[in-house]
């Protein structure tokens, strides 16, 4: 199946011969833009685009940059629901991971999820306040300017929705894994604010509340809040985008995405778990179950080649992907090009960060025969990403629920077409 990594020096020698044809779907963009109804919209011709974007010295582009009209990767509605819908509500919009280069997701392409669908609130940061109250020695109310006077941190973390689940119904990676993204977040540690307020004995839980219409709230252990939760006001070097919680949100590293409450306005310290609107159907109070429900297990996915792409022919390819774990940093990623019969170490791009995406690559020479590509993550505490069969067996035990972090197979046909490999 061509599992062996080609010699790098030999590859460089024949680079000129390869330069003409090693593109994945080069004749067409990887994904199409979608209308409000969810229907695909053909992109403009290059001529029309060049006429529309002909002057990059325009004051608007000088003030805030614009990407090239020839780059047309966009997000898409997932879970079968159009966004916005006929009532103007926006639901889940996936990141085009198949087009991402590196570990950081551009702010404009970061996946977007809402609490049962909502309209993004318009918030004046000068008027916004964050209140910390409940079982504390001092109830505090902060303005945005006051929050920015505290010592800040800047950290790389992924956020992932529990709806990211491999399924035989999914044709492309944006459908199966599009609801995970990774960004650089800047803000003040929640522990700093809680120490300022003084958490009282027995205050073992916090409730974080956003300002959106449905008042999305989440219950979190105070221990996690004191460990690494960030009250973030910036993303990828600039203020949060409105869809990502402007002007304030929490980022809960490694935990299910719905817990990272956006448009944050209130944190209450309490003495017990409360089944809030966000928590219903997602989380449990039982420690054994909560451990599976809260934290994202070791996970990876091959982004290229992936479902819906087309290999132009046999020969050399760089297999690319992303790996992550809610329990810490990625230690190793392995790739199989023969359906799991043999595994090889992939190259990690950069130094893996804790609870962050890590980009990986693997040099592969495809012999043109049908095969299946797989990847699996091993994290810093030794957890290994499971197969679908292992996950199914584990979920078969009574009373156990958790995230789906199973291995995603991509099947490559002899004609070069790439499909979901789940039977």
Question: What count of other Cβ atoms lies within 10 Å of the Cβ of residue 98?
Answer: 26
Q: What is the pLDDT along the chain (423 residues), one digit of tens a residue?
A: 544 555 544 444 444 334 333 344 333 333 334 333 334 444 444 444 445 555 778 888 889 888 888 999 999 988 777 787 777 777 889 999 999 999 999 999 999 987 666 688 899 999 999 999 999 999 999 999 999 999 999 999 999 998 888 888 899 999 999 999 999 999 999 999 999 999 999 999 999 999 876 667 888 999 999 999 999 999 999 999 999 999 999 999 999 998 999 999 999 999 998 877 655 555 555 655 554 568 899 999 999 999 999 999 999 999 999 999 999 999 999 999 999 999 999 999 999 999 999 999 999 999 999 999 999 999 999 999 999 888 877 766 554 456 789 999 999 999 999 999 997
CA distances from 19 to 2, 11, 22, 317, 320 (A): 20, 11, 6, 12, 18
Evaluate whether 144 touches 123 at the Cβ level (below 8 Å): no
What is the distance between the alpha carbons of residues 107 and 244, in angstroms, rounded to a whole number? 9
Task: Decide the pairing of beta strands 347-349 and 418-420.
Answer: unpaired
**Residues 215, 155 contacting (CB under 8 angstroms):** no
The pLDDT score that the predictor gives to residue 36 is 37
Q: Could you give all domains of the chain from N- to C-terminal order, each with its CATH number?
A: 129-284 (3.90.420.10), 299-420 (2.60.40.650)
Beta bridge partners of 378: 332, 384
Distance CA 41, CA 342 (A): 41
């Amino acid at each position: 199946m061509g599992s062996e990594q080609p010699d790098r020096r030999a590859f460089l020698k024949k680079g000129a011969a390869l330069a003409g044809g090693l593109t994945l779907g080069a004749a067409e963009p990887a994904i199409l833009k979608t209308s409000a109804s969810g229907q695909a919209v053909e992109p403009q011709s290059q001529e029309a685009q060049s006429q529309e974007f002909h002057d990059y010295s325009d004051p608007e582009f000088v003030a805030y940059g614009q990407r090239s009209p020839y780059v047309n990767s966009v997000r898409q509605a997932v879970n079968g629901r159009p966004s916005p819908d006929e009532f103007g509500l926006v639901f889940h919009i996936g990141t085009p991971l198949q087009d991402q280069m590196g570990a950081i997701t551009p702010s404009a392409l970061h996946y977007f999820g809402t609490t049962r669908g909502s309209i993004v609130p318009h918030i004046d940061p000068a008027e916004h306040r964050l209140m910390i109250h409940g079982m504390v020695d001092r109830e505090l109310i902060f303005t945005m300017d006051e929050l920015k006077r505290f010592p800040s941190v800047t950290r790389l973390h992924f956020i992932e929705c529990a709806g990211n689940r491999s399924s035989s119904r999914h044709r492309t990676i944006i459908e199966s894994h599009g609801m995970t993204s990774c960004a650089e977040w800047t803000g003040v540690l929640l522990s700093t604010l809680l120490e300022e307020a003084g958490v009282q004995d027995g205050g073992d839980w916090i409730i974080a509340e956003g300002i959106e219409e449905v008042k999305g709230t989440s219950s979190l252990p105070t221990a996690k809040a004191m460990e690494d939760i960030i009250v973030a006001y910036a993303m990828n070097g600039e203020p949060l985008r409105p869809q990502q919680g402007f002007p304030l949100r929490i980022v809960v590293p490694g935990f299910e995405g719905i817990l990272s409450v956006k448009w944050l306005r209130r944190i209450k310290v309490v003495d017990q778990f409360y089944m809030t609107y966000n928590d219903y159907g997602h989380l449990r109070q039982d420690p054994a179950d909560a451990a599976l429900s809260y934290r994202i297990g070791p996970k990876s996915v091959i982004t290229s080649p992936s479902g819906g792409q087309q290999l132009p022919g046999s020969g050399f390819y760089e297999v690319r992907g992303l790996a992550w774990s809610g329990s810490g940093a990625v230690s190793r990623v392995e790739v199989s090009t023969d359906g799991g019969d043999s595994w090889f170490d992939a190259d990690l791009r950069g130094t893996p960060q804790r609870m962050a995406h890590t980009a990986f690559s693997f040099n592969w020479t495809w012999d043109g025969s049908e095969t299946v590509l797989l990847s699996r993550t091993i994290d810093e505490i030794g957890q290994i990403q499971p197969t679908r069969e292992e996950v199914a067996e584990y979920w078969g035990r009574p009373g156990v629920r958790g995230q789906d972090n199973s291995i995603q197979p991509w099947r490559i046909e002899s004609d070069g077409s790439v499909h979901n490999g789940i039977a």
